[in-house]
Amino acid sequence: MKKIKPLLFLSIPIIVLAVYNIYSYDKFWEISVSTVITASIAIYISYYFTQNRLDQRKAQDSLEKVLSKLETEISRTPIRAMTSETEKSQILLGIRRINNKIFVLKKYQELFGIVEDVKWIHQRFKDYEEFVGDHIDDMDYLSKSQSELIRPLERIDDRIDTIRIKLYT
Amino acid sequence: MKFCIAKDYTKTPGGRFIKEGSFSGEDFRKKHLSPLYLKAKNEEEKLEINFDGGYGYATSFLEEAFGGLVRELKDPSVLEHLSFISEEEPGIIEKVIEYIEDATKEI
């Protein structure tokens, strides 16, 4: 109701003005073809650009959500709180979640002009993944390498911030 | 011919070599992938590998299993006789194909 009130407030004088003109001005409906064409083109162009920008904004917001989810996955990766008792399944699931987010970024990287950033993230995560994969059955070794493993994740996190800024500038 | 890794082998695959622990890529290749692949090839069928249902895969497991298959058999036509399903982690298929192609270049 709050949104409708100002709309009514604006539309009532316009309708009154239109009705007044129809009755007081004889040639109200007589309009040249060129005026119709000009008005139609103006309406079409303004609609096209508004809609286009709206679609672009929606796509940017969706990508922003993917970036936020990727950040969340990186921050809660089991590697951060790893002990020799950590389950292999937890590590594998964590890697899968991050990989899936990177996969989405790769799919739309060209659309948003972030090819180099995604390539960089992909490569850093690939190195991380290979290191973890090579020692997946040695939780003791992985827990001792925790600080080494967190470093590439922190760098990926920083790069996500760069992408986010790029999206809106 | 179909093989679901999570259902028919393990939900928690390990690393690269048998000496590193259980359910390694080498173990999977020797016990399942290699014999099934050869059977499928002889019968002029495709072997469908399903990656869904488990917790995920270490890259070393995938490379040793699929890249290792090419190296073991010295067969450049591996990709022609395999097909993959991975809805839970679509990027896996791309990786496996890359491992097979890289290993094919080396033989």
Tell me if B15 and A93 make a contact (CB, 8 A cut-off). Answer: no
* A133 within a domain of the structure (yes/no): yes
Give the helix/strand (H/E) hosting B2. strand B2-4
Q: Which residues of A touch B (CB under 8 A)?
A: 88-89, 92-93, 95-96, 99-100, 102-103, 106, 126, 129-130, 132-138
Domain ranges of chain B: 2-106
pLDDT band, residue B50 (cuts 50/70/90): very high
Give this prediction's pTM: 0.80
**Residue A150's CB: how many other CB atoms inside 10 A?**
16
- pLDDT per residue as tens, chain A (169 positions): 666 787 788 888 888 888 888 888 777 777 788 888 998 999 999 888 888 888 888 989 999 999 999 999 999 988 888 777 788 999 999 999 999 999 999 999 999 999 999 999 999 999 999 999 999 999 899 989 988 899 999 999 999 999 999 888 7
* A50 within a domain of the structure (yes/no): no
Task: List the structure tokens of B46.
Answer: 């495709």
* A107 within a domain of the structure (yes/no): yes
Task: List the structure tokens of A81.
Answer: 């709180």
Mean pLDDT score, B48-65: 96
DSSP one-letter code for B7 = H
d(CA A4, CA B62): 59
One DSSP character per residue, B13-70 reads ---SSGGG-SS-HHHHIIIIIHHHHHHHHHTT--EEEE-TTSS---HHHHIIIIIHHH
Domain tally, chain A: 1
**Residue A52's CB: how many other CB atoms inside 10 A?**
10
Tens of pLDDT, residue by residue over B13-40, are: 999 999 999 999 999 999 999 999 999 9
Q: Nearest-CA distance from A87 to chain B in Å? A: 10
One DSSP character per residue, chain A reads -TTHHHHHHHHHHHHHHHHHHHHH-TTTT---HHHHHHHHHHHHHHHHHHHHHHHHHHHHHHHHHHHHHHHHHHHT-GGGG--TT--HHHHHHHHHHHHHHHHHHHHHHHHHT-HHHHHHHHHHHHHHHHHHHHTTT-HHHHHHTHHHHHHHHHHHHHHHHHHHHHHT-
Q: Nearest-CA distance from A104 to chain B in Å? A: 9
* Chain A residues closer than 8 Å to B59 by CB: 126, 129-130, 133
**Interface mutation vs chain B, best among A88, A95, A139, most B CBs within 10 Å:** A88
* A148 within a domain of the structure (yes/no): yes
Tell me if A134 and B22 make a contact (CB, 8 A cut-off). Answer: no
Is pLDDT above 80 for B78? yes
- A93, A95, A136 ranked by CB distance to B15: nearest: A136
* A71 within a domain of the structure (yes/no): yes
**Per-residue confidence (pLDDT) for residue B91, from 0 to 100:** 93
d(CA B62, CA B42): 24
State ipTM. 0.86
Short-list B52, B49, B45, CA closest to B84: B49
Q: Nearest-CA distance from B42 to chain A in Å? A: 33
CB pairs under 8 A between A and B: 63
Residue range(s) defining the domain that contains residue A63: 58-167
**Per-residue confidence (pLDDT) for residue A2, from 0 to 100:** 65
d(CA A10, CA A16): 11
Q: Is B19 on the interface with A (CB under 8 A)?
A: no
